[in-house]
């Protein structure tokens, strides 16, 4: 494919010549533009294309073509929570932490336990329940509960809980 692209300091710089190719891989369903091309990611749900031997997430390409470079430390997030949707009005920039908070606030728990379960697990431990018994109660490993109780994981839930007040 003749995509006019080049790498500069490890970042892809693009122009609108990619839009026809990307558009050819989209289908419109309701108000979503769903990608029908190659998918990648933990759940094989993130649109990607290969340019000059390197894989790129298509949401990032769409953002950069339409709005310009994505600042370091930011990622393209989805308001609609459909990872393969490339409708630009459904996208926004945020940190990974912003994206996780957005997901949690909408009730999409990328974590093994949701906010209420984490709070309940902490109460159970404070009331003397063993790590193993709490883990069994929630169907997770003992290390998950140990890390929650000892502040290794789920630290972001403290901020989400504070947002509720």
Partners of 57 in the beta sheet?
A: 48
pLDDT at residue 1, rounded to an integer: 28
150: Cβ contacts below 8 Å, ≥ 6 apart: none
Neighbours of 71 (CB within 10 A): 7
Q: What distance in Å separates the CA atoms of residue 133 and residue 121, rounded to the nearest whole number?
A: 10
pLDDT at residue 157, rounded to an integer: 58
pLDDT at residue 111, rounded to an integer: 64
- Measured in degrees and rounded to the nearest 5, phi and psi for residue 150 equal -95, 10
pLDDT at residue 129, rounded to an integer: 95
Give the tens place of pLDDT for each residue, 80-129: 878 889 999 999 999 888 887 787 777 665 567 878 888 899 999 999 99
Q: What distance in Å separates the CA atoms of residue 63 and residue 88, rounded to the nearest whole number?
A: 7
Q: Distance of CA 82 to CAs 33, 47, 91, 129, 164, Å?
A: 10, 11, 10, 39, 25
pLDDT at residue 165, rounded to an integer: 40
Q: Is the pLDDT of residue 16 over 60?
A: yes
Name the residue among 89, 93, 108, 92 with its Cα closest to residue 33: 89
| Residue 119 contacts residue 98 (beta carbons within 8 Å) | no
| Most confident range, picked from 16-20, 50-54, 153-157 | 50-54
Beta strands in 38-128 (DSSP E): 39-40, 46-51, 54-57, 75-78, 91-94
pLDDT at residue 15, rounded to an integer: 58
pLDDT at residue 3, rounded to an integer: 32
Higher pLDDT among residues 141 and 35, named by residue: 35
Q: What distance in Å separates the CA atoms of residue 52 and residue 7, rounded to the nearest whole number?
A: 9
Q: Is the pLDDT of residue 57 over 80?
A: yes
């Amino acid at each position: 494919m003749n995509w006019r692209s080049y790498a500069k300091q490890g970042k892809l710089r693009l122009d609108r010549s990619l839009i026809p190719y990307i558009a050819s891989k989209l289908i419109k369903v309701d108000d979503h533009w769903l990608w029908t091309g190659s998918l990648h990611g933990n759940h094989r749900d993130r649109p990607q294309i290969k340019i000059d031997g390197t894989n790129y997430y298509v949401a990032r390409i769409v953002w950069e073509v339409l709005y310009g470079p994505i600042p370091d430390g930011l990622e393209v997030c989805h308001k609609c929570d459909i990872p393969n949707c490339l409708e630009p009005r459904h996208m926004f920039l945020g940190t990974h932490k912003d994206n996780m908070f957005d997901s949690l606030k909408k009730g999409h728990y990328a974590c093994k336990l949701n906010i209420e379960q984490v709070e309940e697990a902490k109460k159970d431990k404070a009331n003397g329940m063993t790590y193993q018994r709490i883990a069994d109660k929630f169907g997770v490993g003992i290390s998950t509960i140990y890390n929650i109780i000892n502040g290794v994981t789920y630290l972001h839930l403290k901020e989400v809980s504070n947002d509720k007040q």
